């Protein structure tokens, strides 16, 4: 089952599947798709949906004791009937909730509530807010990591650059997670990349020169950033991914990996990711996106 939401005043829309609590589509007011979804994606358990924005909890990758990227992206969520007050003025939002199942308890024996709000701001920004609460009745804390595994649709991966990560340390998952330091003024793509950038600034920019489109990603309580593209050889080995699709996608998502979160019973953690599409002339060190849009309206 999927849910479609529309901002009728600006003809913006997005789509969320209850399976995985996953955003699978986000279109601008021209109807242009801004997220990547593989043509080979599976929408049936136990496979996660390949593309969109995956919710990785209680871990990213194999940084933990449960399955790859955790179980949240492989479970059926519910519509949240009693959501907290929204953190946005948008009237275009969807609230979902996930609670532990018997299957989860076998590998991760904790009681939790994971709430997700997906919203469109009045200007068309896509905002995801997650709340995780420890509901253990036995007084035990639990620890977890988290990520919004965000698949952007791009024109040509070789023409894309990610700014805002220069001089940062990162874990290179292609080299046994060794710690490296970014040497370039931007991240560019000529081969497979699978990195976790540590303690990144709150604003990261992905520039797609050919589409003349830039994504500004803002994050809160999510200090790290995941950057991933499988390139040709790995793409061919993935059954739910087209052999040539690596050319038109890039994952850049906010995460909390290096320093896991610990919650005592009754405590709640909240994280947020906001994506703003802005003109391609924007870069991480220049004008704020809101200022650019104000200038365009003049």
Binding-site residue set:
50, 68, 73
CA trace torsion 44, 93, 264, 75 (10° rounding): -10
Cβ atoms 228, 110 nearer than 8 A = no
Cβ atoms 28, 293 nearer than 8 A = no
Cα-flanking dihedrals φ and ψ of residue 173, to 5°? -70, -10
Tell me how far apart the alpha carbons of residues 225 and 234 are, in angstroms, rounded to a whole number.
21
Cβ atoms 227, 182 nearer than 8 A = no
Note every long-range contact of 294-297, with CB atoms under 8 Å and residues 24 or more positions apart, other chains counting: none
Instruction: Tell me the two tokens of residue 121.
Output: 């701001």
Binding-site residue set for substrate:
50, 68, 73
Q: What residues contact 194, with CB distance under 8 A and at least 6 apart?
A: 172, 173, 174, 227, 228, 230
Tell me how far apart the alpha carbons of residues 191 and 165 are, in angstroms, rounded to a whole number.
18
Cα–Cα distances (Å) from 86 to 118, 123, 193, in that order, read: 10, 17, 36
Cβ atoms 27, 92 nearer than 8 A = no
Cα-flanking dihedrals φ and ψ of residue 9, to 5°? -70, -25
């Amino acid at each position: 089952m999927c849910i479609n939401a529309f901002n009728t005043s600006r003809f913006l829309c997005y789509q969320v599947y209850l399976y995985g609590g996953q955003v699978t589509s986000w279109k601008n007011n021209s109807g242009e798709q801004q997220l990547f979804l593989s043509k080979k994606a599976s929408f049936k358990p136990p496979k996660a949906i390949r593309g969109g924005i995956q919710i990785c909890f209680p871990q990213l990758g194999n940084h933990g004791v449960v399955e790859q990227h955790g179980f949240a992206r492989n479970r059926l969520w519910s519509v949240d009937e009693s959501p907290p007050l929204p953190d946005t003025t948008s009237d275009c939002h969807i609230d979902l909730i996930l609670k532990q199942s018997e299957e989860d308890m076998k590998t991760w024996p904790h009681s939790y509530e994971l709430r997700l709000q997906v919203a469109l701001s009045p200007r068309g920004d896509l905002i995801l807010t997650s709340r995780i609460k420890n509901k253990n009745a036995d007084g035990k804390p639990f620890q977890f990591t988290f990520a919004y595994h965000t698949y952007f649709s791009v024109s040509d991966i070789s023409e894309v650059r990610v700014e805002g990560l220069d001089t940062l340390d990162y874990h290179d998952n292609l080299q046994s997670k060794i710690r490296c330091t970014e040497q370039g003024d931007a991240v560019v793509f000529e081969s497979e990349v699978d990195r976790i950038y540590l303690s990144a600034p709150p604003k990261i920019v992905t520039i797609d020169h050919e589409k003349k489109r830039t994504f500004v990603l803002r994050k809160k309580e999510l200090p790290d950033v995941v950057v991933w593209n499988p390139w040709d050889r790995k793409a061919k080995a993935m059954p739910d991914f087209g052999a040539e699709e690596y050319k038109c996608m890039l994952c850049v998502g906010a995460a909390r990996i290096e320093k896991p979160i610990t919650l005592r019973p009754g405590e709640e953690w909240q994280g947020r990711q906001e994506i703003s599409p802005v003109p391609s002339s924007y870069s991480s060190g220049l004008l704020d996106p809101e200022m650019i849009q104000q200038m365009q309206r003049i």
